[in-house]
Structure 1
Amino acid sequence: MTTGSTPQVAPTHASVVIVGGGIMGTATAHYLAEAGVEDVVLVERDELGSGSTSKAAGGLRSQFSDEVNIALGARSLETFRRFRSDFDQDIDLVTSGYLFLLDDEEDAARFERNVALQQSLGQSSRMVTVAEAAELSPVISTAGLVGGAFNPDDAHCTPEAAVAGFARAARRRGVTVLRHTEVTDIVVEDGAVTGVETSRGPITTSAVVCAAGAWSQALGAMAGVELPVTPLRRQIMVTEPVDFDARKLPFTIDFSTSYYFHSEGDGLLMGAPELTDVREFDTHRDPEWIEHLSRLIAHRTPALEDVCIRRGWAGLYECSPDHNALIGSAVDVDGFLYACGFSGHGFLQGPAVGEVLRDLYLGREPFVDISPMSVERFAADALRVELNIV
C-alpha cells in the first residue's frame, strides 16, 4: 500500500520515533500529533501496513476473557464505527456480530463467566442456544454443539484501509513517515534512549515506540529490553462469490478448532490454525493446510464445501507466552515504549492502544490501567492468560 512519497534523508532529530507502520504505529503517530506533539517520525522498513496488519482477518470484537482486552476492544470499536466520518476513509465496516460456537460443556461454562464479565463492563454479549446459533449463522452444522456466545455489536473491516486513514491523518498533522527505512540500532546512554540509527541516517531522540509486531523482540534487543515475542504463521483464504448475502453472517468461530469465517466482499474469508505450528518468519502457503481447512469446513459448515477459492495468503501472529499483549514503558531504559505480542488481536485493539501509548508518552493516565500488561509480569511469574483467541 502506497500512501505518499518517502523522504530520501531522515530528519536529524525527532521528539519520538515510532518503529512499525502497521495499525499500532500509524494510530500512535496520529494520536501523538493530534495531542500537539511535534517532530514525530514513523519508520517502516517496507510499505505501511505490509506486515501483519495487511494479513489480518480484520475482526473487531470486545469478547475477551481479560478485562483490559475487553476495554481495549470496546474502545477501538468506537473508533472504527466513527472512522468514515472522523478520518474520511471507508473501511468497509460490517457490523454483523461475532459468534463463538461451543462443543464442550467446560468451554461453555468459561464463556458464561466471560460473558458475565463483558456484560458488567457494558457490552452486549450474551450466551445463545444451539438453535439460536443456527439462526444467526445458517450455514453451520449444529452437530456436537452445546451452545454459543454472541455479541451483535462486534464487526469486521478492511485493515489496510484503517492504516491508510490513520497515516493520512498523521501526515496532515506533520508526522514524518519514512517508508523503506530500516532501524539498525537504538542508542541508549546512561539508561536512556538518545537516538535511533536508520538506513537513511541517524535520528537523535529521547523516545522510541516499538510497534514492530512479530519483529519486536529484535528491536527490543537493540535497546537492551527483553520482549518475549515470537512469530506464528497463520493462513487465510478468500472464496469466489457465494449465492447468498454473506454480509448478514456474523464473524463465526468454531472455538474448539479455531476455524472461522466472515464475509469478504461478495464471498467469504476463512481461516484456521495449521496442524503443526510454524513459529518462524515464514509466510509461504502450505498446500496441506488447504486440505486441513477443507476437513474443518466439511465438519462445521458442510453447506460451504463447494465454494471455490479465489485467493489466499499467510501472515504472522506476534505471540507472547500467555497470548496477551505487552504494553508499557521499559523499566530499565527510559524513553522506550512498547506495544506488541497481541497474539492475534492486535489489529482490533490498534486504535485504543495508540491512545494508550500517547498517554504513556505524555505522562497521562490512560483510559484503562494497562500496568498488568507490562513485560515485567513474566519475571514476576504473573502471567495474564487470554482464553478467547483464534
Structure 2
Amino acid sequence: MSAGSKVVVIGGGVIGLSIAFHLAEAGVEVTLLERGELGSGASRATADVVRSYFAGNPISSALAVRSLEAYRAFPARPGAELPLRQVGYLVLFTEPDQVAAFNADLAAQRAAGVDVELISAEEARQRNPLIGDLPLAAAAYSPDAYISDTTAIVTAYAQAAEQAGAALRTGCPVTAIDAEAGLVRTADGELSADAIVCAAGAWSASLVRCAGVDLPLTEPIEQELLTTDPLPPGTPEIPVTLHAASGLLIRTRGDRLLIGMGYPGADREAWRRDVAARIAETYPSLAGIPLHTAVTGLRDASPDKTAFIGHQPGPPAFLYATGFSGHGLCNAPAAGELVRDLYLDRDPGMDVAALAMSARRTG
C-alpha cells in the first residue's frame, strides 16, 4: 500500500499525540503511526504526576511550566476535563552539597517560571509526616505539582487530533525511514510526506539515524513503578516526595503508595530489596510493607535528561522530539507546540535551539 500525507508523525504516546493535535489544529494534514496501541509505551508507565520543577534542569522546567499552563486550560483546549489534584512536590536533601546545588540553580529555575523555595527540615516533616529520623539538611518545595491521569490526557489528545482531521493508525510499526526521499516504510507499505516527525520514544534511536541525526539516546530502558498494600488507617495525604540521594519517589494513590526508584536493571529482585530498604530508612512507619508491581513500560533517555527537539529543514523536512527521560508527560503540551512552530516556521516563544542536538554537550 502506498499513501501520502503532509506530515507523518511516528509514535502514538503522549508526545506524538500532542504533536499530531497541534499540527492538525493548525490545519496541517497529519498521519500518526503507532506500533502498538496509543499510549502503550512510556506513556503507560508514569506516576500520573505533572509538575514544573526539575532540579538542575531549567530547560525541562521551562517546558514543564508552559505545559502546566496548557493542562490547566485543557477544558477549553483541546476540550476535555482533566483531573488535576494539587499536592505539591517535595525534594529531600540530606547532604550540604545538595543544598548548594539547589541555591546555584535557583535563579535559572525562577527565570524559567518555576515556583520553588528552600524550606527547613522541620517544615519538610510538617508537609510529609511519614519522614523518619533522616539527617535532613533542608528540602525544596514547589506547590506546582498535580496528580492527573495520563490515560485521560492521551485519550483527549487522540480525540482532538482526529476531530481536527488527523489520521491515527495503530498496530503499524515503522520499519525504516528515507528522510531524503520523504518516505516512511511500514509492514503495510510506505507513506510519502513533506515532513517526518520522530516521536517514537524508546524506538527513536535507529529512526533518527536514518535521517542522518546522531542523537546519543540510550537503548530502551524498562521502567517499573511499585505499589504497596493498603496504608495504615489515618495515613496523611503527602506531597509527591523525592529523596534526592537515593532517587526514591513516592506519592499516595488512593489508600496505597505509588513508588519509583530508578530502573530495575537485570536483577529485579535485588532492586526491589533496595527499594524496600530505602523505604524503611526514609519512612520507618512503612518498613516491611509489601510491594507489588503497579506498571512497567519502556522509556527513552538522553544523557542530560533533557529532551531533544529539533528540525532539519526540507523539503522533505525531518523533525524530532525524543529523549524525554521520564519527563514526557510534564513536557508534552509544550513539545507539541514547539514541533508545530518549527514545522510552520513560526516563533516558538522560547529558545528551541537549546533543545537541538547541535547545541548540546551530552558527553
Structure-2-length-normalised TM-score = 0.92
Matched-pair contact (CA < 8 Å) for 1:58–1:348: no
Please name the residue that 1:105 is paired with.
96
Give the deviation of 1:112 after TM superposition: 1.8
Q: Secondary structure at the match of 1:298?
A: helix
Give, in whole Å, the separation in 1 of the partners of 2:96 and 2:317. Answer: 47
**Residue 197 of structure 1, aligned match among 171, 185, 200:** 185
Q: Are positions 1:55 and 2:28 aligned together?
A: no
Give, in whole Å, the separation in 1 of the partners of 2:205 and 2:339. Answer: 18
Shift in alpha-carbon separation, 1:225–1:30, aligned structure 2, 3 A: same
Please tell me the residue identity of whatever aligns with 1:195. Answer: L
Matched-pair contact (CA < 8 Å) for 2:195–2:315: no
Q: Which moved more, 1:325-334 or 1:227-236?
A: 325-334
Shift in alpha-carbon separation, 1:14–1:113, aligned structure 2, 3 A: same
Shift in alpha-carbon separation, 1:337–1:246, aligned structure 2, 3 A: farther
**Residue 94 of structure 1, aligned match among 85, 90, 98:** 85
Give, in whole Å, the separation in 1 of the partners of 2:316 and 2:77. Answer: 34
Give, in whole Å, the separation in 2 of the partners of 1:28 and 1:115. Answer: 31
Give, in whole Å, the separation in 2 of the partners of 1:159 and 1:176. Answer: 21
Give the deviation of 1:142 after TM superposition: 4.0
Give, in whole Å, the separation in 2 of the partners of 1:353 and 1:297. Answer: 34
Aligned residues: 361
Shift in alpha-carbon separation, 1:376–1:247, aligned structure 2, 3 A: farther
Matched-pair contact (CA < 8 Å) for 2:183–2:192: yes
Q: Are positions 1:316 and 2:298 aligned together?
A: yes
Please tell me the residue identity of whatever aligns with 1:49. Answer: G
Give the deviation of 1:250 after TM superposition: 0.8
Please tell me the residue identity of whatever aligns with 2:17. Answer: T
Q: Which moved more, 1:44-53 or 1:64-73?
A: 64-73
Q: Secondary structure at the match of 1:127?
A: strand
Give the deviation of 1:218 after TM superposition: 1.3
Please tell me the residue identity of whatever aligns with 1:34. Answer: E
Please name the residue that 2:215 is paired with.
227
What is the percent sequence identity of the aligned residues?
35
Q: Summarize the alignment of residues 213-224 of structure 1 with structure 2, pairs less than 5 Å apart.
A: 213-224=201-212
Matched-pair contact (CA < 8 Å) for 1:127–1:149: yes
Give the deviation of 1:306 after TM superposition: 4.5
Q: CA RMSD in A?
A: 2.3
Please name the residue that 2:26 is paired with.
35
Q: Which moved more, 1:105-114 or 1:23-32?
A: 105-114
Please name the residue that 1:162 is paired with.
153
Please name the residue that 1:3 is paired with.
none
Q: Summarize the alignment of residues 57-136 of structure 1 with structure 2, pairs less than 5 Å apart.
A: 57-64=47-54, 65-136=56-127
Q: Are positions 1:286 and 2:252 aligned together?
A: no
After superposition, the C-alpha distances for 1:259-314 in whole angstroms (9 at most, x for unaligned) are 01012233211011247x56xxxxxx822222111001001011222544454233
**Stretches of structure 1 lacking an aligned partner (at least 5 in a row):** 1-8, 279-284, 386-390
Q: Which moved more, 1:226-235 or 1:71-80?
A: 226-235
Q: Are positions 1:209 and 2:194 aligned together?
A: no
Give the deviation of 1:89 after TM superposition: 3.8
**Stretches of structure 2 lacking an aligned partner (at least 5 in a row):** none
Give the deviation of 1:219 after TM superposition: 1.2
Q: Which moved more, 1:113-122 or 1:40-49?
A: 113-122
After superposition, the C-alpha distances for 1:187-246 in whole angstroms (9 at most, x for unaligned) are 233xxx422112222211110110011111011123232222112333211223324577
Matched-pair contact (CA < 8 Å) for 2:31–2:169: yes
Q: Are positions 1:263 and 2:252 aligned together?
A: yes
Please name the residue that 1:388 is paired with.
none
Q: Which moved more, 1:71-80 or 1:332-341?
A: 332-341
Q: Secondary structure at the match of 1:14?
A: strand
Q: Which moved more, 1:259-268 or 1:206-215?
A: 259-268
Give, in whole Å, the separation in 2 of the partners of 1:170 and 1:181. Answer: 18
Matched-pair contact (CA < 8 Å) for 1:188–1:194: yes
Structure-1-length-normalised TM-score = 0.86
Matched-pair contact (CA < 8 Å) for 1:22–1:163: yes
Matched-pair contact (CA < 8 Å) for 2:52–2:330: no
